[in-house]
Structure 1
Amino acid sequence: MYIKKILWAIALIGLVVAAIFAYSIYNVMLSPNTKFANDEAFIYVATDAEYNDVRSQLEPLLKDMDAFDALASRKKYTNYLKAGKYVIKNGMSNNDIINSIRSNNLPIKVSFNNQETLEKLAGRIANQIEADSLSLITAMYDSAFFQKSGFSEQTALGMYIPNSYECFWNTSAEQFRERMLKEYNRFWNDNRMAKAKAIGLSRDEIMTMASIVHEESKQAIEQPRIAGVYMNRIRIGMPLQADPTLKFAAYQLPEYQNTIIKRVLNKHKEIESPYNTYKNTGLPPGLIAMPDISAINAVLNYEKHKYLYFAADAKKLGYHKFAKTLAQHNVNARAYQRYLSSQGINR
């Protein structure tokens, strides 16, 4: 009888110990361990991150950091981090959190609009993915990549089609560049290539003209008409005489650094540059800015007409007046010049 009591006591003690152990395991692994008020929070694990880097992001989000550390060590997460962007949902347990930040790298939307230079594009992208602007610039200007892809410093900006793209936060500079090349080739599908061939321009030339068209007008409705003017000028061997190319040429000179040209003057037409389309016939050697998709499509689907000239419309700012003769163009141009003078815009 005495032995039975001892056995019962041992069994009860064992049950109590097991219950305590199970409860502690539950607390460590399965009980909710978040303390933030929002529905979810995000952490970013860098490619070269160590556990303490992750821990510093988690500490403000968790109620019991020691319990998380213990389970992270037991599940060997502390030694096997994976870079990326991860979500932690309110009410998650330590086990759920570790599973999420180990295997649920979230895709993000990377977007950019009409950046003027590769440097500005790199700065915009660096604010959205792990790669910094310096590594992006280095990748974008890589001569080996230019040789492989057929781009150059003058045409490289055209490879980046402004849009939104899904990728991972921990995308490297080289991975981003390769992704954009893939998207560029996808953009230039059989239909667009056929239109470019019919026009008689290469992809690079289409992108260069589109960059001029886009700088001339942000109004998608009149971009095909402007493209038609330039196509007419090219067809008869007339210089493009595109004011945005003069601005681009000027901005390459020291005296125009950190300035904004609001009015193109005769002195700008004398600048010696392959981008001066008043002095040189045909298209310049590369893009003057990143064109919008609407401008690219405007060139591919340019309006067929007999206009050779256009000038900004003083009565409808942002739009243009088109002319078939130089005499009519001069009337339109003088009206806009008077408007600029009335606004005190002299340079």
Structure 2
Amino acid sequence: MEKAKMRKSRKRRFSIFILFIVLLVSGVFMNNYYKEGLKAMNPDDPSDVLVVIPSSSSVNTISNILYENKLIKNPIIFKIKVKTSNTASTLKAGEYNLSTDMDLDTIISKLVKGGKDRNTVRFTIPEGYELEQMAEKLAKEGIIDKDRFIQLSSDKKNFEEEFSFLKQLEKGQSLEGFLFPSTYEIFTGTKEEEIIGKMLHEFEKIYEKDLESKLTELNMTLNEAVTLASIVEREGKVDEERPLMSAVFLNRIEKGMMLQSCATVQYVLGERKEVLSNADTRIDSPYNTYINEGLPPGPIASPGEESLVAAVNPADVDYLFFVLTGNGTHTFTKTYEEHLQAKPKK
């Protein structure tokens, strides 16, 4: 009995000893890992990095910005260091010239001191704007060089390495339809590349959230989805009707009917005529959906989120026609006879 107790005691002491060793080794490892995380990324071959910390950025946002710019080794260690040094509330927004030979203490010190606070400007791109309209508007507001903006957005290859979703588009395709319409805040003097990049980034968020998983389900390409969304954007006035419009166009495609969208002809004409002439509807262009079946080759404008969502979530209806009959609202019908009856009487 006594021997059994002694064996249990020895086993317990041995287990405690092993646990102590494990904790000791783990502690040493974690301590070394933490110390390593405080060091500069590349002290032997440093490079300067221009970093912009937006106003109202959280510690988490700042840590991610620094990590993405390869200025810190671990965002978690940055957050621990900021917390233990009680500097979280003192980190300032602004523009910083940092270097890869700066250790964590130096970087935090500079963020506490504050960077160059450049003036900012806001601009709004309305839903349904074309590239040409965007460039014209931003040029008039003194934000961009119009020719530079058009040149950069004329071929997706200029941005597809940064935004991989663009690789799904056709070779040489422009960014028409993919610069997300919204209100943006930028620093004065921001380059055209950065502005386009911000707009593509906003589109990417919608793509990943609302479109990506639906494309395979619907057997639809990204270009087809955005092209459909752009037509819905230009034809629609009321958000609640957009899924119905999406359904109408998809139903017509399924039946081999031409879309006959006035918006696509307006895109060809370069103007938004309220009433198209017969000659307009016969204009020779792959974008003219009065003479070509299916969707046009690409988007005709930049759709907003409601239209993008509607394109991949069409209403479950049999409608084939719609006509403007109210204050921005449409009447949807299944047959051409019903469509004629629904047209407002002159």
Common topology (TM > 0.5): yes
Aligned counterpart, 2:86: none
* Counterparts of 2:302 and 2:156, CA distance in 1: 20
* Counterparts of 1:231 and 1:159, CA distance in 2: 21
Q: Is the 8 A contact 2:131 2:176 kept in 1?
A: yes
The letter for the 2-side match of 1:261 is K
Q: Spell out, residue by residue over 1:226-249, the C-alpha distance to the aligned partner (whole angstroms, 9 max, x if none).
A: 111111112222211212212223
Distance 1:246 1:122, change over 3 A: closer
Q: 1:321 aligns with which of 331, 342, 345?
A: 331
Distance 1:107 1:239, change over 3 A: same
1:300 paired to 2:312: yes
Distance 1:223 1:191, change over 3 A: closer
Aligned counterpart, 2:258: 239
**1:109 CA drift (Å):** 3.8
* Counterparts of 1:115 and 1:217, CA distance in 2: 10
Where 1:321 maps in the other structure, the secondary structure is strand
User: Which blocks of at least 5 consecutive residues in structure 1 are unaligned?
Assistant: 1-81, 84-99, 253-258, 340-347
Where 2:240 maps in the other structure, the secondary structure is coil
Query: Which is greater in Rg?
Result: 1
* Counterparts of 2:143 and 2:231, CA distance in 1: 32
* Counterparts of 2:159 and 2:115, CA distance in 1: 36
* Counterparts of 2:307 and 2:272, CA distance in 1: 23
Q: 2:231 aligns with which of 204, 212, 227?
A: 212
The 5 A counterparts of 1:244-323 are 244-249=263-268, 251-252=269-270, 261-313=273-325, 316-323=326-333
Aligned counterpart, 2:146: 133
TM-score, L = length of structure 2: 0.59
Q: Is the 8 A contact 1:115 1:121 kept in 2?
A: no
* Counterparts of 1:115 and 1:224, CA distance in 2: 16
Aligned counterpart, 1:200: 219
1:156 paired to 2:190: no
* Counterparts of 2:140 and 2:128, CA distance in 1: 14
1:181 paired to 2:181: no
Equivalent residues, number:
231
Q: 2:158 aligns with which of 122, 133, 145?
A: 145
Q: Spell out, residue by residue over 1:249-274, the C-alpha distance to the aligned partner (whole angstroms, 9 max, x if none).
A: 3x15xxxxxx6522133333222111
User: Which blocks of at least 5 consecutive residues in structure 2 are unaligned?
Assistant: 1-94, 97-112
TM-score, L = length of structure 1: 0.59
The letter for the 2-side match of 1:195 is K
* Counterparts of 2:221 and 2:331, CA distance in 1: 29
Q: Is the 8 A contact 1:245 1:277 kept in 2?
A: yes
Aligned counterpart, 2:134: 121
Aligned counterpart, 2:17: none
The letter for the 2-side match of 1:136 is F
The 5 A counterparts of 1:52-67 are none
Q: Is the 8 A contact 1:157 1:289 kept in 2?
A: yes
* Identity across matched positions, percent: 29
